[in-house]
Structure 1
Amino acid sequence: MRSINDAHVAESGLAVVEVAAADDETAFAVQELLTTRWAVAPAHCTTREPGEPGVRLRCFLDLRQRPDS
């Protein structure tokens, strides 16, 4: 995965969440749970590291905003 950009965590309330899961379905289910609580810039695909088990997914959260705002 690419490195985290300073802008992604430049202010209080911004967060980068990286999910490690056995499969795409599980990773996207975790992301979906996050979207029910906070504003999320979702990932549209997972990544696989050669020689490593499972998948990774990175999404960006804004804890200052609720998803319904």
Structure 2
Amino acid sequence: MIAAADGETAFAVQAALAARCAIAPADRTTREPGEPGVRLRFFLDLHQEAVL
């Protein structure tokens, strides 16, 4: 899970991680009422070797 100021930033981080390793991407962010920012939950394959 990542936390970001806005959805655009959260999806940019997800895209950067997806370019380097296998992830199951998310298609929407969540927001807690009364809390700043958004959260994006996705799953990273920790068994795959990272591509640098």
TM-score between the two structures when normalised by the length of structure 2:
0.86
Which runs of no fewer than 5 residues in structure 2 stay unpaired?
none
C-alpha distance in structure 1 between counterparts of 2:34 and 2:8, whole Å: 20
Structure 1: 4+ residue segments shifted above 4 A:
none
Give, in angstroms, the shift of residue 64 of structure 1: 2.4
Q: CA RMSD in A?
A: 1.5
Find the partner of 1:65 among 40, 48, 52. Answer: 48
SS in 2 for 1:46: coil
* One-letter amino acid matched to 1:59: F
Q: How does 1:17-28 map to 2 (within 5 A)?
A: 18-28=1-11
Partner residue in 1 for 2:17:
34
C-alpha distance in structure 2 between counterparts of 1:39 and 1:63, whole Å: 8
Can you list the C-alpha shifts for 1:25-56, whole angstroms capped at 9, x where unaligned?
00000000110111000000000000000100
Give the share of equivalent positions with the same residue, in percent. Answer: 71
- Structure showing the higher strand proportion among its residues: 1
- Count of residue pairs the alignment pairs up: 50
